[in-house]
Each structure stands twice: as C-alpha cells, then as structure tokens.
Copies of this chain bind each other. A is one copy, B any other.
Amino acid sequence: MKIRILLANDHAIIREGLRSLIERQADMEVVAETENGRSALQLARKLTPDVVLMDISMPGLNGIEATRQIVEGVPGARVIVLSMHSDKRFVAETLKAGASRYLLKDCAFEELASAIRSVMESGPYPRTRIGKTVIGKHAHPLKQDEHTVIAVLTPRERDVLQLMAEGKTTRNIASLLHVSVKTVETHRQHIMAKLDIHSIAELTKYAIREGLTSL
C-alpha cells in the first residue's frame, strides 16, 4: 500500500515539481493537489490522505490554520509543513497547530522523503513527542541553534546584543548601561566570537530569531 499524499501549495509549478519527485518513489503517490488551505481541508476530509504536504503561505486559509483544522478533523492524517521561513515563531506556531514536521524549502528532496516515511512509522498522532522529534529534526536547517542565546551568552551580553539589534550605537548602549564604550565593545567582540557571527546585520537576524528583538 502506497503512502497517499495530498499536496497543498499555492504555486502550481512547485506542486508539479513535488509531484514529479514524489512519483519517482515507489512507495508514495499523490492523491490530489490544491492551491489553497480551504480546499486542502475539504480534500483531506474526502480523501483521508496519509500525509498532507503543506505550504505556510496560501491564499484564503493559511497553512497553519489549515493544519490545525486537518489535524483535528481528519483522523490519521499527518501534516508536514514545507516553508521558506526559518523563523522560530513560525516553527513553534506550526507545531502547536499539530504538524508532525517542519521542513525548510532549501532542504533536499531526500530529506522530505525520509520525513514522510518517518511520520508514517510513528502513529497517526505523534503529537506527544512532537517537541523533541521535530526540534531535533530541523536542527540542521536551522543552523545549530542547540545553544540558544541563554545557554551561550551571558546576561550582560544579551543586553548588549538586544540593544545592538535595536539599532543603538555602541556609544548609546554604553550610556544606557552606564559603562564605558570600551566595555560595550568587548561585550560585542565576545558575542561575535561565541556566535561566530561578524556583522551587525547577521547579529540582528540572530537576535530576531532568538526573540531578543522584533522586526
């Protein structure tokens, strides 16, 4: 019995590409595809696929909300979200909505295929250990945030990083923290050394991902 897959993605050519790749797998088949979240839900109810391959950004019902409703309303259906966003909050939202996996679009198809097989091996409702499973799963595409800011950076360094990511100058930060400019510079150097990030831009992105500042 092949793994029955439903494709939900708003770009036709990407759906076709995925379908073409999936159909090369002997143990998988695409039972339907759709371009929006609402019909994804309807098709899932009607066809009860084993796996729904879901995009986040779709017109109408978005991927996260569609995931929530499919997981609740279609027994046995696992949802794998394929997204271009590596933002942690997207990931958290998606998993909270009941998705079994969260993969980035710059993963290889082989990773997707093994993710599909993997969620089939676990039961239909692997939600109890989603946290561990999935966080572990996307450890690589999210480029090693095993060591989150809290683990690696000291409290003072986090203060400095946050202010940097908010666009404050070194001098500004120094006066805000009531220390000398040199101290702030040292903190910044330590931050950059620890994270192996050597530009304000990348540091800002890191801080955003870690929730130290917002867009």
Residues of A that sit less than 8 Å from B by CB: 10-14, 16-18, 20-21, 24, 35, 82, 84-87, 105-109, 112, 164-169, 197-205, 208-209, 214-215
Residues of the B chain whose Cβ atoms lie less than 8 Å from the Cβ of A20: 17, 20-21, 24
**Interchain residue pairs with CB less than 8 A apart (13):** A11-B84, A11-B105, A12-B105, A13-B82, A13-B105, A13-B108, A14-B17, A17-B21, A20-B21, A165-B201, A167-B197, A169-B199, A201-B201
Chain B residue with the shortest CB-CB distance to A110: B16
Instruction: For the complex, give the distance between the alpha carbons of A84 and B82 in Å.
Output: 16
Residues of the B chain whose Cβ atoms lie less than 8 Å from the Cβ of A109: 12-13, 16-17
Residues of the B chain whose Cβ atoms lie less than 8 Å from the Cβ of A169: 199
Instruction: For the complex, give the distance between the alpha carbons of A13 and B169 in Å.
Output: 36
Residues of the B chain whose Cβ atoms lie less than 8 Å from the Cβ of A17: 13-14, 16-18, 20-21, 109
Residues of the B chain whose Cβ atoms lie less than 8 Å from the Cβ of A35: 106
**Do A16 and B12 have beta carbons less than 8 Å apart?**
no
With A13-B112, A16-B17, A17-B14 in contact, is A214–B86 under 8 Å at CB?
A: yes
How far apart are A90's CB and chain B's nearest CB, in angstroms?
10
Which of A86, A167, A197 has the most CB atoms of chain B within a 10 A radius of its CB?
A: A167
Residues of the B chain whose Cβ atoms lie less than 8 Å from the Cβ of A198: 167
- Partner pick for A215 among B82, B108, B168, B205, CB 8 A cutoff: B205
**Do B208 and A12 have beta carbons less than 8 Å apart?**
no
A13-B82, A13-B112, A167-B197 known; 7 new pairs, CB 8 Å cut-off, are A13-B18, A16-B109, A20-B21, A20-B24, A166-B201, A168-B201, A200-B201
Residues of the B chain whose Cβ atoms lie less than 8 Å from the Cβ of A112: 13
Chain B residue with the shortest CB-CB distance to A87: B215
How far apart are A54's CB and chain B's nearest CB, in angstroms?
14
